[in-house]
């Protein structure tokens, strides 16, 4: 189960200020695998994703919290760094900036007796779905231009909303199709799709499932 599948929702760009270096909402990398910017193409980069999760990333609990129907939950967020808005020939674009995708340790937990390789793989899927959406967000953020600083920030807000919605939609579809990881055929189909998108730099879409799956 995934909590806060769209961490940028809580990291809105701030209004224009007198300094060119102000804290803004974060974006990730456009590169396949999601790590760094292209040489000679300065702009946003994402750190903290991709990476392999371990059970040590989750807080151990003995039983499900009241009202919970799942045995694990992962909670993610963005840690904003500092950003420079660069002006070139009356156009504004994003300069070099670094944001970290982080696990919320307090909100990520697993029932000790329910820990399995399969359950961890399902939680990894949640993490990677959000990471892929933020990789794509960064790819788009690197192309943004505005005639003013405020117009650039408005464009940032717009694409953040779009990728927020996409992450939420994919997360819901993932849980529905995999039955929260209990349908292993569908779970493996999603894992293959996620891996392919990570390696090839493709936008993530739900996998085509066979009738048997």
What pLDDT, on a 0 to 100 scale, did the predictor assign at position 164?
86
Rounded Cα distance between 76 and 68, Å, is 18
140 in any annotated domain: yes
What pLDDT, on a 0 to 100 scale, did the predictor assign at position 153?
87
What pLDDT, on a 0 to 100 scale, did the predictor assign at position 41?
61
Band (pLDDT 50/70/90 cuts) for residue 121 is very high
- Average pLDDT value for residue range 62-73: 95
Its pTM stands at 0.82
Rounded Cα distance between 68 and 23, Å, is 36
Q: What are phi and psi of 93, to 5 degrees?
A: -140, 170
What pLDDT, on a 0 to 100 scale, did the predictor assign at position 127?
98
Band (pLDDT 50/70/90 cuts) for residue 14 is very low
- Which residues contact residue 122 at a Cβ distance below 8 angstroms, ignoring those fewer than 6 apart? 72, 178, 180, 181, 187
What pLDDT, on a 0 to 100 scale, did the predictor assign at position 203?
96
- Average pLDDT value for residue range 8-12: 42
List Cα–Cα distances, 203 to 21, 110, 132, 139, 188, in angstroms: 31, 30, 8, 11, 18
What pLDDT, on a 0 to 100 scale, did the predictor assign at position 213?
52
DSSP characters for 44-97?
A: EEEES-S----GGGSEEESSPPTT--SSEEEEEEEE---EEEEEETTEEEEEEE
- Which residues contact residue 177 at a Cβ distance below 8 angstroms, ignoring those fewer than 6 apart? 183, 186, 190, 206, 209
174 in any annotated domain: yes
What is the number of domains present in the chain?
1
210 in any annotated domain: no
Q: Are strands 109-111 and 72-79 parallel, antiparallel or unpaired?
A: antiparallel
Q: Are strands 44-47 and 83-88 parallel, antiparallel or unpaired?
A: unpaired
pLDDT digits (tens, 9 = 90+) for 46-62: 989 999 999 999 999 99
Higher pLDDT, 10 or 190: 190
Band (pLDDT 50/70/90 cuts) for residue 82 is confident
209 in any annotated domain: no
- Average pLDDT value for residue range 92-110: 90
pLDDT above 80 (res 65) = yes
Q: Dihedral of CA 202/205/207/211: which sign?
A: negative
212 in any annotated domain: no
205 in any annotated domain: no
What pLDDT, on a 0 to 100 scale, did the predictor assign at position 137?
87
182 in any annotated domain: yes
Long-range (24+ apart) CB contacts under 8 A made by 161-164 are 163/6, 163/8, 163/133, 163/134, 163/136, 163/137, 164/6, 164/8, 164/9
Question: What is the average pLDDT score of the chain?
Answer: 83
Write out the residue range of the structural domain in which residue 125 sits. Answer: 2-200
Least confident of 1-10, 91-100, 191-200: 1-10
What pLDDT, on a 0 to 100 scale, did the predictor assign at position 54?
98
């Amino acid at each position: 189960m995934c909590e806060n599948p769209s961490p940028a929702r809580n990291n809105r760009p701030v209004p224009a200020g007198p300094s060119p270096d102000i804290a803004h909402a974060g974006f990730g990398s456009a590169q396949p695998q999601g790590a760094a910017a292209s040489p000679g193409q300065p702009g946003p980069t994402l750190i903290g994703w991709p990476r392999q999760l371990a059970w040590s990333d989750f807080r151990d609990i003995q039983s499900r919290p009241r009202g919970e129907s799942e045995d694990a939950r992962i909670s993610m967020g963005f840690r904003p760094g500092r950003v420079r808005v660069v002006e070139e020939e009356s156009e504004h674009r994003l300069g070099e900036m670094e944001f970290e995708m982080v696990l919320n340790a307090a909100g990520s937990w697993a029932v000790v007796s329910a820990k399995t390789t399969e359950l961890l793989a399902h939680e990894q899927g949640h993490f990677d779905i959000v990471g892929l959406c933020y990789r794509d967000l960064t790819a788009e953020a690197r192309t943004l231009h505005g005639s003013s600083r405020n117009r650039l920030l408005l464009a940032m807000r717009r694409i953040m909303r779009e990728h927020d919605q996409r992450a939420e939609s994919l997360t819901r579809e993932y849980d529905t199709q995999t039955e929260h990881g209990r349908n292993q055929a569908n779970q493996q189909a999603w894992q293959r799709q996620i891996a392919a998108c990570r390696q090839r730099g493709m936008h993530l879409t739900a996998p085509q499932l066979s009738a048997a799956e």
